[in-house]
Amino acid sequence: MKGIFFLAWRYISFHRLKSFILVFAMSLVVFLPLSVHLLINIFQKSIEERAASTPLLIGSSGNRYDLVLRSIYFQGEEPTPLSQKEVEDLSERKGAVIPLFLRFSAHRFYAEDSQEGSYQSFPLVGTTLDYFFWRSLEVKEGNWPAILGEVVVGPKVAENLNLRLGDFLLSDQQKIYDISSTYPLKMKVVGILKEEGTADDEAIFTDIKTSWIIAGIGHGHQDVLDEKNLRLVQKKEGSDVLASPRMVNYNEVTMENIASFHFHGESQNFPVSSIVFLPKDHKAMTILMGDYLESKTVQVVSPKNVVGELMSLVFRIRIFFDANFILMFLCTVLFLSLILLLSFKLRERERKTFFKLGCSRRTVISVQLAELFLLGAFSALLVILGAWGLWQSEALWIKLFFWIA
């Protein structure tokens, strides 16, 4: 057998191009359907686990798919915001309430004289500390946000932006040419999360009040009533003060100016993108869903059910791909069979040479079968390497799925 495989290997290594084409064709016909099934399984496992851990999601009436994808995976369009009043109302029910404000993104802050890096942005999630306890997130380095302007970042964010504790992020300005919009907020990185293999790894987290500052609802500025800043007062009538345009608005929260940050308007009108509700029991969940059943402005969804609907659509698409791959597999098998038959005919002189050297018919057939075995082994190796590569790049493919969706 050793001699048979030696002769088979020498033939394959001599006819490199033909062997490479055969190996690639056989690998492709197996890898394509396998990769589709593998990617769907990766996608299904990832999103179903995260959706199942989220009992109820409350948001404005509209596209429930956008609501779930944005609130749980931080992908897709931002849903129409609710008001903080909904959070206050839900707080009176039996369950934990976690508000989310998901309008903004942020990138690394570089000094003006710095030439390093790109301005890749990641989603900025404004929430409360309850979110971290609910998701069982842990800080690998640093601590949780304690004051306005502090953020913790996922490990993928820290890796891609080369962030360390004490570095700064800058919120992305949504309206570049709107001179009336607020300045981007400079935020300090105070913590880096442990890797969990979820969407939290690629997100930036801050207190929801910091998100409201970015939205322009709150701000900090010089105290115009201070005797040193009286020149900033343009007009004063009783308790009403009109400040001069020369007044400086702070775009970074520091220990020196944090006391000057304040919010305008009623807090119950402040926006939240969505609300996660964690009921204490099944009864509390049923009552909440029943109370909002007739609402025309607010919807309550079960992320697990929404993701189940989404996956049913994916499965229907997979059936189409499977049928297509079966036809392609049959065509490829017929094509390879034709190539092997033609090759068998063309190698008539080779077989006669073997016979003249004293080889039996069985030996000649064994050599050609050994060639097919080696080609199949190389094809299997390529398929395994390809499947391993897909598995290792799981996060990238999941992100691509969400981008397509």
pLDDT tens by residue, 22-55: 888 888 877 877 777 777 777 777 778 888 888 8
DSSP state for residue 172 in the 8-state scheme: P
Identify whether residues 235 and 265 lie together within a single domain.
Answer: yes
Both 314 and 206 in one domain: the answer is no
Distance of alpha carbon 155 from alpha carbon 163, whole angstroms: 9
Shared domain for 63 and 23, answered yes or no, is: no
Contacts of 193 (CB under 8 A, 6+ apart): 137, 138, 139, 140, 152, 153, 154, 155, 200, 201, 205
- Do 173 and 190 belong together in one domain? yes
* SS3 sequence of 5-52: HHHHHHHHHHCHHHHHHHHHHHHHHHHHHHHHHHHHHHHHHHHHHHHH
Residue found by looking up tokens 């801050």 in the block: 206
What is d(CA 209, CA 144) in angstroms, rounded to the nearest whole number?
A: 15
| Same-domain check for residues 167 and 145 | yes
Segment 164-185 mean pLDDT: 73
Question: Hey, what are 344's tokens?
Answer: 């068998």
Q: Does the structure show a pLDDT above 60 at 383?
A: yes
Which residue did the predictor score with more confidence, 62 or 134? 134
* Shared domain check, 177 and 101: yes
One domain, residues 144 and 108 = yes
Q: What is the pLDDT of residues 186-201, one digit of tens each?
A: 899 999 999 988 889 9
Higher pLDDT, 100 or 324: 100
> Are 162 and 266 part of one and the same domain?
yes
- 3-class state of residue 279 by DSSP: strand
DSSP string over 183-240: PPPEEEEEEEEPP-SSGGGG-EEEEHHHHHHHTTSEEEE--TTSGGGGGGEEEEETTE
Residue 96 has pLDDT above 70, yes or no: yes
- What does the mean pLDDT of the chain come to? 79
Among the listed ranges 11-15, 180-184, 280-284, which one has the minimum average pLDDT value? Answer: 180-184
Domain boundary among 302, 334, 361: 302
Residue 124 is predicted with a pLDDT of 94
Q: 279 and 331 share a domain? A: no
pLDDT tens for residues 120-131?
889 999 999 999
For 276, which DSSP code?
E
Per-residue model confidence (pLDDT) at position 261: 77
The Cα 158–Cα 199 span in angstroms is: 14
Same domain, 270 and 382: no
* pLDDT the model gives residue 259: 76
Residue 179 has pLDDT above 50, yes or no: no
**Each residue of 321-365: pLDDT tens digit?**
777 777 877 877 787 778 777 777 777 777 777 777 777 777 777
User: Residue 397 — φ and ψ, nearest 5°?
Assistant: -70, -40
Single-letter amino acid code for the residue at 238:
G
Domain boundary among 285, 302, 319: 302
The torsion angles phi and psi of 168, rounded to 5 degrees, stand at -125, 150
Domain around 43: 2-47+310-404
pLDDT at 268 over 90: no
Indicate whether 262 and 211 sit together in one domain: yes
* Total number of domains in the chain: 2
Tell how far CA 309 is from the center of its chain: 20
Residues 267 and 290 in one domain: yes
Confidence (pLDDT) at 230: 44
- What's the rounded Cα separation, in Å, for the pair 124 and 106? 6
Around 291, how many Cα atoms within 13 Å sit in the side-chain half-sphere? 10
| Residue 247 confidence class, pLDDT cut points 50, 70, 90 | very low
Q: Which residue has the higher pLDDT, 193 or 91?
A: 193
pTM of the model: 0.70
Alpha helices in 63-168 (DSSP H): 64-73, 84-90, 129-134, 155-161
Q: Give how far the C-alpha of residue 276 lies from the chain's centroid of Cα atoms, to the nearest Å.
A: 19
The residue out of 256, 276, 302 marking a domain boundary is 302
Q: Which DSSP string corresponds to 337-357?
A: HHHHHHHHHHTHHHHHHHHHT
* Single-letter code of the amino acid located at 220: G
pLDDT at 88 over 50: yes
